[in-house]
Amino acid sequence: MARHDWLLMRDLLTALALILVIEGIAYALVPEILKRLAAQTTRTPAQALRVGGLIAAVLGVILVWILRR
């Protein structure tokens, strides 16, 4: 694996690890709130979830682009 490829893979794995850290902390600190949010999600229309997910993804890409330039 070329050095450039390894750096990209390392960044991806770091991002996934940070997701686990953030989710783990959230579940450790406020599990009841997260359970309520999960229950509320089942009552949310699929289209609203799609739009929210798309907005979050676009904001994430913009943030990564700003931080990495």
Would you put residue 45 in left (φ > 0), alpha (ψ -120 to 50) or beta? beta
Tell me: pLDDT of 4 over 70: yes
pLDDT, tens digit, 9 for 90 and up, residues 17-59 = 999 999 999 999 999 999 999 999 999 999 999 999 999 999 9
